[in-house]
Every structure is written in C-alpha cells, then in structure tokens.
Amino acid sequence: MKFPYGICDFKKIVTKDYFYCDRTGCIPLLEKGEYLLFIRPRRFGKSLLLSTLFNYYDVARADEFDRLFGHLEIGKNPTPLHNRYFILQWDFSCVDPFGDVEDIRKSLHDHINSCIDAFIMYYRDYLTEDVRVDRANAISSIQSLMAVARKSGHKVYLLIDEYDNFANQVMMGVQQDKQKRYEALVFEEGPLRTLFKAVKSSTSDSLFDRIFITGVSPVVMSDITSGYNIAKNIYLNPVYNDLCGFRPEEVASATGAVIDACNLPEIEKMNAISMIQTWYNGYKFAPDAAETVYNPTLALYFLDALLESGKFPTEMLDENMAADDAKLDYIARIPGGGQLLLDLVHENAEVVVTALAKRFGIRDLMNASGKDNAFLVSFLYYFGVLSQNTITPQGKLVLKVPNLVMRKLYVERLAELLLPNPLVRDEGKLAAEKVYQYGDIGPLCTFVEQKYFKVFHNPDYRWANELTVKTAFLTLLYNDILYIMDSESEVGRQRVDLTMIIRPDMRRFTILDVLIEFKYVTLADAGVSGKEARELTVESLQSLPPMQQMMTEAAEQVREYGRILEERHGNLRLGRFAVVALGFERIWAREV
C-alpha cells in the first residue's frame, strides 16, 4: 500500500497505484454549472480535485483517458466534454503577500505570466500563433492567450486554486495598516478586483468557457463581487459534501488493510479505527448531508505513519495543519471572539445561528462589534475549525467543533489568550503533570487559585460557574500525546466533566487515567465576600455547608462514573478527583 500524503497530482496517484478515493462520479454534476466556486478548509484535497479536472478535460491527454480514468466511475460513463479544452491554471498560494500593494500586484502578475508561459510550452503543438506575454501587465497577456486559443480551435477551462490565499494572508497578518492594504487589493481598482473583472469580461465572449475556483472562504469573493458576480456557489450543496473528504467506510477499510499489512493483532484494528475517527472525523458541509467526512490530509498522515512504523503517530496533529491556529488568533482579536473561543472549548459545546453568512467581507469582520456572532461563527466554519451539525426544530443551524484535532487548537489558543506569559503557562503545565504522574492535584489547584482566578475576574468573560473552573483545568491538563482528552464525555446517562484516558499506544507508561468532577459555589450562597473567602483557612473553607454539600455530590458522582469507566475500559489506572470552587477565589479538591 502507498498513501499519497502531500501529493495532489492525480495522474501520479492513479498511475503509481497510490490510495485513491474515487470522486469522479461528481463530474457530470459539476458540468451543470459553468463558473463554479468551491470552498473547503485548507489541506482538504482541493488541489487534487483541480488536478483531476485538469486531466479529465485536457485536450493534450486524450490518448491517456483510458489509462487515467478507465477504472474509475467517470471512465465508465464519460461526458462528451472530456479532453475538449485547453487548461489554464493559476495557484494564488504562490503569490507573495508581503510588501506594499504594488509589490503584491507585481507578484500576482508575475505568477499569471509564468502560468501563461507554462501554457504556451505545454500546448505549443496546438497553438497556431504566438502568444504575446506582457511582463508588466498580465491582463494583456491573458487577452493575447485567449485570442490565440480561439484561433487554434479550442476553448479554455480556467482553474484557480486558493483564489483567496494571499489576500487572507494580508488580512490576517501582523503588518501595520493590514486592513487598508487588503482593501487596496480588492476594492476600487485594486489588482485582484481588476484581474477578476478581466476574467469576467472574457467569459462574456466565451473565451473562458468554464471556470472552477477553489478557496477557503467567501470573504474575498464578497469583496470583489461586482468584479466577478457570475460564480455559482456549490460549497454548501449536500451533493458535494464528500467531494474532497474521505467517507468513514473508506477510512475504516484502509485502516484495516494497514493493520493487516503490518501483521498487527485484531485489537489494534479497533484501536486504530477508533483513534482516527475521534481525531479526524466530524466534518459536515451541509446539515442535511448523509454523513460526516474525514479531513483527507490528516487521515493520510495517520495511515502513512501507521504503515511505515506499525505505530500510531505520536503527534496526532499534523504540524502542517498547525497553521489553522492563526485563524483562532485572528478571531480572538475581534470583539467578542475571545468569549466565543471560551464557549466552544468543551466537548459538546455548540453554537446556534440563524444561517451561515454567505456574503460578508473584510469590513464586516473588522467591525464585528455590535453584530451577532454569525460573522465570527461563519468565519470559523469556512476555515474548518467549526463544522455544521444539525438543524434545530426552529430551523436554526447548529455548528460544533468537528474533532479532537480542532479542539486541541482551541485549547492551546485559549491557554495563550488567558495566560499570555509563556513562563506562567509552563508553571501551570508542570503543576498539571503532577496530577497524572503522581495523583497529586494540590499544586494545580494552587496555581488556578493564584493565576487563573485573577483572569476570570475580567468582565470580558461572562462565565460564573463550574464550566469556568473546568476551562482553567482543561487548558493546563490537555495532553494529546499521552491521552484522549474528553470534556463532557457521556458515561451512562450522565456526562463527566473531564476524563483523560491513556491512548492505547501509550499505556506502557506509568501514568494515571484521570477523572475529575467539578462543582461551583457562589460567594452569595456561601454567605461570604471575595475578601473573606480569600482569608478563610482550609478548615474553615471545608466546613462551609454549601462546600460540604457540593463536595459530597461530586464525590458520589466520581465514584459512580469511575465504576462505569472501569467496566467500559477494563484496564484503567484511574485517578479520581472531586473539585469544588468557591467563586473565583478558592478551591477545595480531594482524591476520591
């Protein structure tokens, strides 16, 4: 078996016998639209989709059609348009987003001209005249190319990959006046807007007969809309839910094949399928889609590592996906964004909106204060850190964090947001290690009292219950290398506040599984002020009737949850803890 991790060349994948999930059956549906916009999160297989379209429609590869597509669904029922086009490709991830607007304009035009150069070389035997490439003005080069293509007897199919990449880089960068720089690209006569106006103009003369554009969000398209208002948006259509993602049965089959190839025991097959499902499944791009899909890059990362070493990857988050953290950082800087991250960090956290914002631009994002959170939620959805889930009986859309990989990004960003000093965060992490290494929760409670509770006095954060306390503990205890972290996991008919179950491949280490139940007592219920609470002795704190009542309830729940977890897993080394907070002032914790 071979897995095409990092490979987006369709021809190479199918001719070199790499693992491939056939999606060519969607091609007839795609042909129903001429100018399409397809949005998916980064590293979700969009480039491979464009490569598939290139090979299918390329006039120069007609002789290879049977070899490339004969064994696939479209090869058995091809459309009349196969191998009928010149293909022009642009990849805007190659455009340098740095410098001033004129620097970016030059980089954009240089890229387009280099793509036209490649077009000329590739189709030199088909072109009847020379294309004039204007090094100072790529739009002029496009016009010359289209005129020559027309005389040569073939229409052009334009494929644009990552159409919004460099614009998003400008928008989310750290440079001064980034909003002004972004707006200069897309508004008025900015270079990106001007380019798309030229593309639109070429369609009116049937020069660009078909256009397929991919990107990660509609923000840029919204900002250039009058320059290019012909795109048909297909990214929310349930028919295309799995166009770039892997289906559960495909991943399960591939995982089983790898386990067999590595001669691993049958129990490892179940462990592997469970791991890959927990960490990478959960994406849904339409609420009425039949099933969720896996991020293909992450699934291939796992399968490739398992095949190569016979072991699960130590880091379940592929470092090439870590850049998604920048999207959370961007959201955290927008008014209301930090609270949204707090709201979504837990296992069953959901956010409900009337609908996704399909047309919103940079001014909406940069001036989100006072608006509902549909803008922020939509942004997180398009960038893959939220996924559609269900629709409420009232017709509203429910979104959630898709999987454990994305939750890891939330937790890490939240820790940085609440404890910006890395030395302080390290101090908290060291205190947290004592919980699962030695069963000692005292140092962690002390750290939360002294460091985290000061943060939660900030009026920017509205929580005032056990969820707040759990958030503090979760951000410090989170360890995806050793554990499957689960906040609000279902045990029986109840939900446990926090469980840390050692990963199957990490049980060889002498660490504890962890179960924690949190309770919260308000200062008013305890009859004390914040100052009085801070001055209480440990004995006085524990003698307060509301604290005793909550500790009794928490301990009873921990015993019951622990019993169920032991029966479910069978081989746990379970550290069980009850934690009761008095306001944002004091903590009483004990092992049960």
Q: Tell me whether residue 240 is in a domain.
A: no
CATH number of the domain at 217, please.
Answer: 3.40.50
pLDDT in tens, 376-385: 888 888 888 8
C-alpha closest to that of 304 among 249, 261, 258, 252: 258
Q: Which residue in the block uniquely carries the two structure tokens 């005389």?
A: 151
Count of domains forming the chain: 4
Helix (H) or strand (E) holding 488: strand 483-491
What lies within 8 Å, CB to CB, of 164 at 6+ separation is 92, 215, 216, 217, 219, 220, 221
| 330 closest CA partner among 382, 286, 283 | 382
* Angstrom distance (rounded) from CA 407 to CA 386: 10
Residue in 240, 235, 285 with CA at minimum distance from that of residue 37: 235
Of 210-219, 243-252, 329-338, the poorest mean pLDDT is in: 329-338
Domain boundary among 363, 392, 418: 418
Same domain assignment for residues 297 and 428: no
404: Cβ–Cβ under 8 A, 6 or more apart, which residues? 278, 279, 316, 480, 484, 485
What is the 3-class SS of 201-262, one letter each residue? Answer: HHHHCCCEEEEEEEECCCHHHHHCCCCCCCCEECCCCHHHCCCCCECHHHHHHHHHHHHHHC
Are 100 and 185 contained in the same domain? yes
CB-CB contact of 385 with 409 (8 Å): yes
Cα four-point dihedral sign 50, 223, 234, 372: positive
Residues 580, 517 share a domain: yes
Q: Do 222 and 88 reside in the same domain of the chain?
A: yes
Domain boundary among 418, 436, 455: 418
Does the predicted TM-score (pTM) go above 0.85?
A: yes
Looking at the structure, tell me whether residues 90 and 220 fall in a common domain: yes
State the pLDDT at residue 380: 84
Domain shared by 174 and 85, yes or no: yes
Residues in the chain: 592
pLDDT band of 176, cuts 50, 70, 90:
low
Same domain for 274 and 323?
no
Label residue 308 by pLDDT band (50, 70, 90): very high
| Enclosing domain of residue 587 | 420-592
Regarding whether 324 and 308 lie in a shared domain, the answer is no
Nearest to 388 by CA among 250, 236, 247: 236
**457 and 568 share a domain?**
yes
Query: Would residue 18 count as lying in a domain?
Result: no
Same domain, 305 and 345: no
pLDDT by residue (tens digit) across 540-577? 999 999 999 999 999 999 999 999 999 888 889 999 99
Q: Who wins on pLDDT, 465 or 72?
A: 72
Residue 133 lies in a domain: yes
Q: Which helix (H) or strand (E) holds 301?
A: helix 296-309
Would residue 7 count as lying in a domain? Answer: no
- For tokens 């209480």, the residue is 536
End-of-domain residue from the set 298, 316, 334 = 316
Is 453 within the bounds of a domain? yes
- Give the pairing type, strands 350-353 and 397-400: antiparallel
Assess whether pLDDT exceeds 90 at residue 515.
yes
- 190 and 264 share one domain: no
88 and 43 housed in the same domain? yes
Q: Would you state the pLDDT for residue 303?
A: 96
CB-based contacts of 169, cutoff 8 Å, min separation 6:
97
